[in-house]
Amino acid sequence: MDGEELTEQETQLYDRQIRVWGADAQRRLSKAHILVCGMKGAVAEFCKNIVLAGIGSLTLVDNRLVTEEALSANFLIPPDESVFGGKSVAELCCDSLKDFNPMVRVSVIKGEPSSFDEEFLKTFDVIVVSCCSLAEKKSVNEKCRKLPKRVSFYTVDCRDSCGEIFVDLQDYKYAKKKLEDTVECQLSYPSFEDAISVPWKVHPRKVSKLFYALRVIERFEEAEGRSPGETSVSDLPGVLKLKKEICESQLLNEAHIPNALVERLVTNPTEFPPVCAIIGGILGQEVIKAVSGKGDPLKNFFYFDAVDGKGTIEDISSQS
């Protein structure tokens, strides 16, 4: 194992979870450094989960000032102007998160995800980005892949009653229990750019409709120069037109992306708190798995839609 023992205080506090993942996984968690960008509801949930789990440090990035929308699904921000006035969303979340577990170092960095250089990024083990444009996702992901060490990269976004997680663990080795034995497993992940560039016609059968709908909206936001989630009902004709074009060029039956789903996502881009709890929970578990090297990580997209209640893993990588 990793040598160092857990302190008495840690054993006491983490008792119930050590019974789930073991003391050596707990030690690895306590040495993990995690960066998150974009503090909306799902990310707030995720941060709560990993701070409780006892990671080493958490660094938050979100320069926005508090707005009505920032408050909506985020329980880390007190809705009191005398408290939040003048502070950034990240600073406010940091204050609340510190309180959840005094053994975790929580801090704030100012800046934009695209401005971070490799020197900075390499100080982390896990990087999670949310509410980022397509270009930002690609750029942070590419920088992670160039670092001298393996850094796990995730994107997470929720809109309407839906959520999406993307995972890039690069070349990932982990231990898996099979009956009595522990076997070494290996997975090879594509980057975000590679994953979304896989031609749709070679996708596995019956990939979640959400994958396609979200790719269309992402392209729309990029083409129109919108911030992520900045769409409304007036954009619907434009998005549907784009959907048609993309489906034609990708040779995908248009009916596979129901207009009703696109409409929900475009007209109602705000988060739905129960879905944030679910997506933030799944992402928390995934990061804990990746850090501790225990258990099958998901590869490489996860979708949840409250309308059908299914939480589905999709593997979209060039090999398949």
Partner 1 sequence: MASQQQLSVIKGAKVLMVGAGGIGCELLKTLALSGFQDIHIIDMDTIEVSNLNRQFLFRKSHVGLSKAKVARDAVLRFRPQVSITSYHANVKNQEFNVDFLKQFSVVLNGLDNLDARRHVNRLCLAADVPLVESGTTGFLGQVTVHVKGKTECYECQPKPAPKTYPVCTITSTPSKFVHCIVWAKDLLFTKLFGDKNQENDLNVRSSDPASSSDHAEDIFQLNKDETIEHYGRRVFDHVFGYNIEVALSNEDTWKNRNKPRPIYSRDILPEEPTKQNGNTDKNCATDDQSLISAMTSLGIKNPQEIWSLMENSRIFIEAIKLFFTKREKDVGNLAFDKDDQLAVEFVTAAANIRAESFGIPMHSLFESKGIAGNIVHAVATTNAIIAGLIVIEAIKVLQNDANNYRMTYCLEHPSRKMLLMPVEPFEPNKSCYVCSETPLSLEINTHHAKLRDFVEKIVKAKLGMNFPLIMHGAALLYEVGDDLDEDMVANYTANLEKVLSELPSPVVSGTILSVEDLQQELSCSINIKHRDEFDEEKEPDGMVLSGWQQTPLEKDDCNKTLGNGESTSKTLPSAPDADKYDDSDMVASGRKRKLDEAVNISGEANSSKKPEVLDDDDDDLVMLDDGDNGDPAINKKKRLQ
Query: Rule CB under 8 A: which residues touch partner 1?
Result: 5-6, 8, 11-21, 23, 41, 45, 48-49, 52-54, 72-73, 75-79, 99-102, 160-161, 206, 258, 268-278, 280-282, 284-285, 288, 295-296, 298, 302, 304, 306, 308-314
Q: Which is nearer to partner 1, 113 or 284 (CB)?
A: 284
- Rounded to a whole number of angstroms, the CA Rg of the chain reads 20
Instruction: Tell me the closest approach of the beta carbon of residue 49 to partner 1, in angstroms.
Output: 5
Q: Which is nearer to partner 1, 237 or 258 (CB)?
A: 258
Q: Which is nearer to partner 1, 46 or 124 (CB)?
A: 46
Distance CA 25, CA 2 (A): 9
Instruction: Tell me the closest approach of the beta carbon of residue 14 to partner 1, in angstroms.
Output: 5
Q: Which is nearer to partner 1, 114 or 161 (CB)?
A: 161
Distance CA 20, CA 102 (A): 22
Instruction: Tell me the closest approach of the beta carbon of residue 96 to partner 1, in angstroms.
Output: 8
Closest CA to 52 of 302, 281, 295, 311: 281
Alpha carbon separation from 268 to 43, 64, 239, 289, 306 (Å, rounded): 19, 21, 14, 32, 14
Question: Residue 196 in contact with residue 175, Cβ under 8 Å?
Answer: no
Instruction: Tell me the closest approach of the beta carbon of residue 263 to partner 1, in angstroms.
Output: 12
Residue 113 makes CB contacts below 8 A (sequence gap 6+) with 37, 38, 61, 129, 132, 136, 139, 140
Q: Which is nearer to partner 1, 135 or 185 (CB)?
A: 185
Q: Which is nearer to partner 1, 60 or 298 (CB)?
A: 298
The H or E element that residue 184 is part of is strand 181-188
Distance CA 256, CA 207 (A): 9
